[in-house]
Structure 1
Amino acid sequence: MIPFIGTSLGAFCVYFMKKDLSKGVERMLSGFAAGVMVAASIWSLLIPAMEESSGMGRLAFIPAVIGFWIGIGFLLLMDHVIPHMHAATNEVEGPKSSLSRTTMLVLAVTLHNIPEGMAVGVVFAGWMTGNSGISLGGALALSLGIAIQNFPEGAIISMPLYSAGSSRHRAFRNGVLSGVVEPIGAILTIIFAQALTPILPYMLSFAAGAMLYVVVEELIPEMSEGKHSHSGVLMFAVGFSIMMTLDVALG
């Protein structure tokens, strides 16, 4: 629920912000989110995945590599089969559809949130099994890091909807709905925690691959848009530093 609360609080910005987010602010927020997700993928997912496979010796990287590529492939498939639209470009991606612009904007953010929910769920599942090196602090660090980057993500979806003509209530509702997939994915993963134990390294790296797909395919282009992208790069560094600090300090 922690990442979902972050998304909801961000969407709540529509009630006290009068104007749409500027391109500069959107670049900064995208950069920040990208930094958090890259650091989370490394410290919270890929490194624990290889530590889980330490019994394989020098081949401990194999489950991480396999899971990583499955995660990349899964998001690539979702990108092609689910119609969606990104506010920054207003270009429809995926198959042709008669869905409204609002629905496709929400679906775009929902796609981003799928790997985040799975990441939180699989890390908590790893902690619950008691057989992994994942600590409760590390699991909480990932939840907090994703919640922090979900705050601007909630604003990025609700503010454009409001400026496009939706009421504040509808824009807020759609912003919140875009984050519902996170607790659902996390809870389902936790429910099947014991069954996931043998494939935990693959699941951790799967979530990392899916998250990095989102970063490279969507967030980095958005943070680099325009002539002056230094602010996006700096916010990437800020997000990366915060997530790295949380994971090491709490883990």
Structure 2
Amino acid sequence: MSLFVGVMIPFVGTTLGAACVFFLKNEMKPFVQKALLGFASGVMVAASVWSLLIPSMDMAEGMGKFAFVPAAVGFLLGIAFLLFMDKVIPHQHLDCNEPEGMKCKASKTSMLLFAVTLHNIPEGMAVGVAFAGMLNGNSGITMAGAFALAIGIAIQNFPEGAIISMPLKGTGLSRKKSFVYGTLSGIVEPIGAFLTILLASYIEPMLPYLLAFAAGAMLYVVVEELIPESAEGEHSNIATIGFAVGFVIMMVLDVALG
């Protein structure tokens, strides 16, 4: 039961964030959006380091001086995987007029949804592999540590859900549809988490690689999308402050609960 609850926590965060469309009348102010993007970046970077890369190297300590190998290889494979998905899956970002990925005839709303869903994949994997490490018992990841990661991602999913649903309402969609689309963008997280847990149970020796893989995938999203979007135009300093706050919160959560 605790495993199910932990895996669902990030999805709840996205849903609550998407629900902001019912309470906020106007579109989100640019400086608020930048602060939230920076915050999400900070959480993801801290989670990648403390909750994924460090446990990956700790698990491989038996390799001695080469304990970095699983973390390095997994990290690069995670980057490559998201780079491939970015090139293949058709999607479009909020501030861009041109779609990316393979060409298709999907609507702009669908393309926006695909973009966010694509970026939620590594977050689901990260939560899944953390709980898989906890179940393994030899990874150094505790139940509290896995929950800390899930809570941290849920915290950054809350503003992310709002960032999705509010602009969708601005495109002419009803509040209800904007909420549904915002919520659906996060459904890939629990699905990805459960699939990762199942996969890890069959290939237990690969767990250090999977931890680093999830870290690489998350950091790809941060470097490729979140930070550039938060740094565009004015108020980029607000994004930097948001990054610092998100990083510290996730670091504290992981160390205090882990």
Shorter-chain-normalised TM-score: which range?
over 0.9
Deviations 1:122-179 (A, max 9, x none): 0100101112211111100000000000001101111111111001111000001000
Aligned to 1:134: 141
Aligned to 1:28: 35
Equivalent residue for 1:191, pick from 183, 198, 206: 198
Q: Following the alignment from structure 2 to structure 1, what is the Cα–Cα distance between the partners of residues 236 and 244?
A: 13
Letter in 2 for 1:30: L
The CA deviation at 1:91 is 3.0
Q: Following the alignment from structure 2 to structure 1, what is the Cα–Cα distance between the partners of residues 100 and 170?
A: 22
Equivalent residue for 1:92, pick from 67, 76, 99: 99
Q: Following the alignment from structure 2 to structure 1, what is the Cα–Cα distance between the partners of residues 27 and 92?
A: 17
Aligned to 2:236: 229
Equivalent residue for 1:179, pick from 183, 186, 194: 186
* Aligned-pair Cα RMSD in Å: 0.9
Deviations 1:62-89 (A, max 9, x none): 1110000100000000000011111123
Aligned to 1:6: 13
Are 2:29 and 1:16 aligned? Answer: no
Are 2:210 and 1:203 aligned? Answer: yes
Deviates more, 1:7-16 or 1:224-233: 224-233
Q: Following the alignment from structure 1 to structure 2, what is the Cα–Cα distance between the partners of residues 242 and 200?
A: 26
Are 2:221 and 1:249 aligned? Answer: no
Distance change (3 Å), C-alpha of 1:23 and 1:90: farther
Q: Identity rate of aligned residues, in percent?
A: 65
Are 2:65 and 1:55 aligned? Answer: no
Instruction: Say if 1:129 and 1:193, in contact at 8 Å, map to a contact too.
Output: no
Q: Following the alignment from structure 1 to structure 2, what is the Cα–Cα distance between the partners of residues 201 and 49?
A: 4
- Per the normalisation by structure 1, the TM-score is 0.98
Q: Following the alignment from structure 1 to structure 2, what is the Cα–Cα distance between the partners of residues 76 and 177?
A: 23
Equivalent residue for 2:156, pick from 143, 149, 161: 149
* Superposed structure 1 runs of 4+ greater than 3 Å apart: none
Alignment of 1:66-81 (within 5 A): 66-81=73-88
Deviations 1:107-136 (A, max 9, x none): 111011000000000010010111221111
